[in-house]
Amino acid sequence: MSNKVRIALDAMGGDQGPSVVVPGADLALAQHPDSTFILFGDQTKIEPLLAAHPRLKANAKLVHTDVVVRMEDKPSQALRNGRWKSSMWLAIDAVKKGEADVAVSAGNTGALMAMAKFNLRTMPGIERPAIAAAWPTLTGQCIVLDLGASIGADAESLVDMAVMGSAMARVLFDIDRPTVGLLNIGVEEVKGLEPVREAARILREEPLPHIEYIGFVEGDDIGKGKADVVVTEGFAGNIALKTAEGTARQFAEYLRSAINKSIWSRLGYLLARPAFQMLRDKMDPRKSNGGVFLGLNGVVIKSHGGTDPEGFAAAIDVGYEMVRDELLAKIGETIDRHAQVAAARAAGGAAS
C-alpha cells in the first residue's frame, strides 16, 4: 500500500451517478486528506462537477468511459456488455492492477458482485465471497453477513464468514477478539439446520484466533448488540436487513403521524426537537451505508444506490478504514490458521 489510500470510484453507479459520487468523494476527502481518487465514467458529466469541487479535482484522476452498467441489468448482461470497459468494471480493475486500494460503487449489487468475482477471484481458502455491513445496535454497531451474495451455505462457508466478519469487526470496532454469533431460529430440531449446527461445532471445538464464538443468536438479538459479528446465509441475511430497514421506516412514519396529530403534540415535538434529532441520527441509514464484499483478492464497497453525497461519503469511509487497517491481511491471517487446524485435524492431530 502506498502512503495514500487510493480509491477507485464507479462515478456512474447509483440512481444519481456523478452528481452524488463527486460531492460524496469531496466530503470523504475532507475527512481523510490522505486519500486520492480515480473516477471512471463519462467525462462530459464528471468534469463540470469536478470543476465545482477544486479540492477533489486536485486529488483525483478522471478516466473516461461511456459504457455504463444500468441499475436494472442482470449480472450476466452486465458482464456481457460491461466487461473490460464499463465504469464499474474499470473501478474494480484498478484494484486488480494495483492502481487503487479499494473500489466503491453505488451501482447494481448483482452486477458489481459478478464483476468483482470474475476479475478479483476469491482469496485462497475462501470458497464464496460474502457481503457484510455494519448494523446499528443498542450498544453500538455489529457486523452482519452474508447480506445476499449467495443463497444457502454449508458449514465451512459459515465458518469462513465468521473469519471474514471478525476481521472486518477488528478493523471497524478496533477490538482484538470480536464476539461471533450464528443466526438461528428458536426451534432446534428442524431439518435443514445441519449446516448451522455443524458450523457451531467447528467454531466451538476448533477455536480460531481473533474469534470469540458465543453460540446461536436469533433475529431480535442483532439489534440488542448481543454479538459483534452475526453470521448467516445470504437469503435470510438479506431479508433480515431489508425487514429491519422497513420496520425502522415504519416506526419513523408512525412517529411522524403521531407528532402531527394535534397542536399539542406538534408543540411537544418542538420542545423535544434536539432529542428527536438524536433519534434521527441513530436511525439514519446513511450513517451505516457501505456493504463490504469480503473474500475477494481486493476490497470492493457497495453503496446504496439511492443515497446522497453524505451517504456515499460514508461508503467511501468504510473502504478507507478497510484499507488503512489492512482487512485483507487480517482475513488471510485467520484463514491460514484455520487451514492449519483443519489440516491437523485431517492428520489426526486435532485430538491431541
Question: CA-CA distance, 239 to 247, in Å (whole number)?
Answer: 12
335-337-338-339 Cα dihedral, nearest 10 degrees: 90
The residues that bridge with 301 in the sheet, in sequence order, are 104, 292
CA distances from 244 to 24, 67, 117 (A): 25, 35, 28
Q: How far is the CB of 271 from a second copy (least distance, A)?
A: 3
Q: What are phi and psi of 284, to 5 degrees?
A: -65, 115
Q: How far is the CB of 79 from a second copy (least distance, A)?
A: 10
Q: What are phi and psi of 161, to 5 degrees?
A: -65, -40
Query: Collapsing DSSP states into helix, strand and coil, what is residue 105?
Result: strand
Task: Give how far the C-alpha of residue 262 lies from the chain's centroid of Cα atoms, to the nearest Å.
Answer: 41
Bridge-based pairing of strands 5-10 and 102-105 is parallel
Choice between 1 and 151, CB closer to a second copy = 151
Choice between 114 and 327, CB closer to a second copy = 114
Choice between 106 and 167, CB closer to a second copy = 106
Bridge-based pairing of strands 291-294 and 299-302 is antiparallel
Choice between 151 and 329, CB closer to a second copy = 151
Q: How far is the CB of 185 from a second copy (least distance, A)?
A: 4
Are 34 and 317 in contact by the 8 Å Cβ rule? The answer is no
Choice between 246 and 349, CB closer to a second copy = 246
Rounded to 5 degrees, what angle do the CA atoms 300, 246, 295 make? 20
Q: How far is the CB of 302 from a second copy (least distance, A)?
A: 11
Q: What crossing angle do the helices spanning 263-271 and 273-283 adopt, rounded to 10°?
A: 80
Choice between 170 and 226, CB closer to a second copy = 226
Helix (H) or strand (E) holding 335: helix 327-346
The number of residues making up the chain comes to 352
Q: How far is the CB of 211 from a second copy (least distance, A)?
A: 22
Q: How far is the CB of 84 from a second copy (least distance, A)?
A: 20
Q: Centre a 10 Å sphere on the Cβ of residue 161 and count the other Cβ atoms it contains.
A: 32
Choice between 126 and 313, CB closer to a second copy = 126
Choice between 215 and 219, CB closer to a second copy = 219
Q: How far is the CB of 152 from a second copy (least distance, A)?
A: 5
Are 286 and 307 in contact by the 8 Å Cβ rule? The answer is yes
Q: Is the dihedral of CA 232, 233, 234, 235 positive or negative?
A: negative
Q: How far is the CB of 265 from a second copy (least distance, A)?
A: 4
Q: How far is the CB of 298 from a second copy (least distance, A)?
A: 20
Are 145 and 231 in contact by the 8 Å Cβ rule? The answer is yes
Are 29 and 55 in contact by the 8 Å Cβ rule? The answer is yes
Choice between 31 and 243, CB closer to a second copy = 243
